[in-house]
Amino acid sequence: MNSEDKKMLIKEFKESDGAKKLDMWDYAISQQVLWSNIIDELQKIAREQGVDKKLDKMAEEDIENVKE
């Protein structure tokens, strides 16, 4: 969802009636749960593959390069 989509969604939420607001709220919560589960699974895979350590090392190198 880009920033324009977000603005449109918030505007629609503000202008909607109670039942539609509840539906939109329920949808947003379900999306939050879905993405939370996806992120958890990605983190698990990254740890198993050692990607998280590689990313940490790359971040540390970037920070050191900025300091120089």
Residue-wise pLDDT tens digits, 20-59: 999 999 999 999 999 999 999 998 998 898 887 888 888 8
Task: Give the integer Cα–Cα distance in Å for 47 and 27.
Answer: 30
Band (11; pLDDT cuts 50, 70, 90): very high
**pTM value?**
0.59
Biggest alpha carbon–alpha carbon distance for the chain: 56
The domain spans of the chain are: 3-67
